[in-house]
Amino acid sequence: MSTKKAQKLRQTILKYNTEMSKLKDELSYSQDANIKYNKLVIKKALCKKELDSIKCSLLQKIMNKLHLNNTKEKLICDYFKS
């Protein structure tokens, strides 16, 4: 199942690449093309992230989850000493 999903994600990434290459010429002239291009970049990034999550093994997923739970987020107040 995951190989079919990974293959489908690769195809959509390629589709986004072709659409982005078509829009590159129009970016400086058209605001609509710029908006479409930015949306495609975001969609492509989401597909790449999902593809990476499919590729990583179960052990890597567990380690990432443990690491994320152990790291403490830095708050803005941490930058200012009182």
Yes or no: say if 11 and 51 are a contact pair by the CB < 8 Å rule. Answer: no
Q: What is the mean pLDDT of each run of 10 residues along the chain (82 residues)?
A: 82 94 87 92 91 78 69 69 56
Q: Tell me the two tokens of residue 61.
A: 């997923």
The whole-number pLDDT of residue 37 equals: 92
pLDDT score at 69: 60
Predicted local confidence at residue 68, as pLDDT: 62
Write down the pLDDT at residue 62.
Answer: 75
Q: Are 33 and 26 in contact (CB under 8 A)?
A: yes
- pLDDT score for 79: 72
DSSP state of 72: P
